[in-house]
Amino acid sequence: MAGPLPTVSEQIRNGQAYYRQQRGAIRFIAYFQTFTNTYSSVAKLKALYDEALCQEDVIGLSIGTRPDCVSDEILDLIASYAPAHHIWLELGIQSIHDRTLALINRGHHADDFLDAVQRTAHRNLLVCAHIIVGLPGETRGDVLETARVLAGLPVHGIKIHSLLVLEGTALAEAYREGRIHMLSRGEYVETVCDILELLPPEMVIQRLTAEGYQDIFLGPDWARGKMAVLNAIEQELDRRDSYQGCRYHSAGEQGR
C-alpha cells in the first residue's frame, strides 16, 4: 500500500480488533517485526516503544532486529521495560557460519550475534534467534551446527524459516537460472526435526516454517502450504518417536 504507514497505535488497534474477533485474544504483545527495529536514536525508539505499551491490553514487546544494531544504550532502554512487561529481543542470525553470512550479504559476522546475546544475557530480556534452513552452500550438518551453538547459548526462543525465493532479490535470478538447490519439503521436514532434537526442552519454538509475502513469492511451491508443512513435521516426529530435546544432552557441553 502506497503512502505513509499508520501510526503504531493504529496498527495495534487494527491487529487487536482482528485477533479479538478471529481468535478470542485478550492480551497482546506488540511485535516490531519488519526490518531493523533498533535502528534509530534512543529517544525515537523510546517514543515508539512507549506508544505501543500504552495501548490497552498490550503486556509486552517483541523487537526484531540485527545483532549488529543493538548498542548497550539501546539494550539498556529495552531492558528498562522488562520489570513490568514481557519483553523479547529477536535477533536474526540465519547461520552461525561466516562463509554463509558473507555469501548471502548479511553484512555482519557470527561473532556479532554471539556478542549481542552475551550483552543481553544479564539484562533480564528474553532472546529469540532466527535461523534459515536451506541457505545456499549449506549442508544439513552445517544447519545442525548452528542449532548446537544456539543450544549452548542463553537463547530462550527460536524461529526456524525455510529459504524462500522472493521477487526482486538476487536469489530470484539464481533460482530462475537453476543455480541454487532448493530443499524439498521432505528434506526440510527432516532437518527441522533434527534441529528440534538438539535444542533444549525449555526453548520456546516460535516458528517452524515461513510463507513469505504471497505477491512476490516465487518458491519453493511447497512452502505455500504452512499447515501441510507443520503437519508433516508432527508426523515425522511421531514416526521417529522423537521430541524436542531428546538429543540435547548428547550434543556436547551446552554451557547453559
Q: Do both 35 and 117 map to the same domain? A: yes
- Residue-number span of the structural domain to which 79 is assigned: 26-124
Kindly state whether residues 197 and 114 are assigned to the same domain: no
| End position of a domain, from candidates 124, 151, 186 | 124
Residue 249 CB contacts under 8 Å (≥ 6 apart), including other chains: none
Residue 169 is assigned to a structural domain of this protein: yes
The verdict on 40 and 102 lying in the same domain is yes
Position of cell 508432527? Answer: 234
pLDDT, position 214: 80
Write down the pTM of the prediction. 0.92
The last residue of a domain, from among 96, 124, 152: 124
Stated as kind and residue range, the H or E segment containing 206 is strand 204-207
Whether residues 105 and 171 share a domain: the answer is no
What is the mean pLDDT for each group of 10 consecutive residues in the chain (256 residues)? 82 96 96 93 97 97 97 97 97 97 95 97 94 96 97 97 92 90 96 98 96 85 93 98 90 46
Three cell numbers written together for 143: 544447519
| 39 and 102 part of one domain | yes
**Claim to verify: residue 108 and residue 173 sit in the same structural domain:** no
In a domain, 101, yes or no: yes
Question: 115 with 39, same domain?
Answer: yes
Q: Within this chain, do residues 113 and 195 fall inside the same structural domain, yes or no? A: no
pLDDT confidence of residue 256: 41
User: DSSP state, 91?
Assistant: E
User: What is the predicted pLDDT for the residue at 188?
Assistant: 97
Alpha helices in the chain (DSSP H): 8-23, 42-53, 72-79, 98-103, 110-121, 140-151, 170-176, 185-198, 226-240
* Of 126, 121, 10, 118, residue with least CA distance to 62: 126
87 lies in some domain:
yes
Phi, psi of 67 (to 5 degrees): -70, -15
pLDDT at site 192 = 98
Q: Is residue 140 part of a domain?
A: no
Residue 251 has what pLDDT? Answer: 47
Q: Do residues 167 and 219 both lie within one domain?
A: yes
| 108 lies in the same domain as 171 | no
Same domain, 119 and 181: no
Q: Say if residue 95 is in the same domain as residue 175.
A: no
Of 76, 97, 124, at which residue does a domain stop? Answer: 124
* Measured distance CA(156)–CA(204) in Å, rounded: 6
Question: How many structural domains comprise the chain?
Answer: 2
Residue 139 forms part of a structural domain: no
pLDDT value of position 207: 96
Please check whether residue 157 lies inside any domain of the structure. Answer: no
Is 190 domain-assigned? Answer: yes
Does residue 78 sit within a domain? yes
| Cβ atoms of residues 93 and 142 within 8 Å | no
pLDDT (0 to 100) of residue 4:
81
